[in-house]
């Protein structure tokens, strides 16, 4: 991934994390479909791990929920591709 791609991913992930509704989250994912990529999942896992190491358990839990949301969208899209 080129540095500019990495920067775009970081910015998109930041925008996704800051959403306050499911509709906003879906909009961000539709605008930045690479949030459904393995790279995005790895980056989010790293952020969650860092939050836990810093004792920010509530933040880590909230980020885990966001990660689960992205994963469910990935599964949904895979299911649509198979039909």
Half-sphere exposure of 53 (CA within 13 A, CB side): 6
Q: Taking the domains of the chain in order of start, what are their residue ranges?
A: 3-82
- Asked if residue 66 lies in contact with residue 16, where contact means CB atoms within 8 angstroms, the answer is yes
Residue 82 has pLDDT above 80, yes or no: no
Residue 83 has pLDDT above 70, yes or no: no
For residue 52, the model assigns a pLDDT of 98
For residue 7, the model assigns a pLDDT of 92
Of the pLDDT bands very low, low, confident and very high (cuts 50, 70, 90), residue 2 is: low
For residue 63, the model assigns a pLDDT of 95
Quote the pTM value: 0.83
Phi-psi region of 55 (alpha: psi -120 to 50; beta: other; left: phi over 0): left
For residue 1, the model assigns a pLDDT of 47
């Amino acid at each position: 991934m080129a540095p500019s791609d990495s920067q775009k991913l970081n910015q998109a992930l930041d925008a996704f994390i800051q959403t306050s509704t499911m509709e906003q989250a879906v909009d961000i994912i539709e605008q930045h479909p690479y949030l459904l990529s393995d790279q995005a999942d790895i980056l989010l896992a790293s952020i969650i791990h860092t939050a836990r190491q810093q004792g920010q358990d509530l933040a880590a839990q909230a980020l885990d929920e966001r990660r689960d949301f992205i994963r469910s969208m990935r599964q949904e899209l895979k299911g649509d591709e198979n039909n």
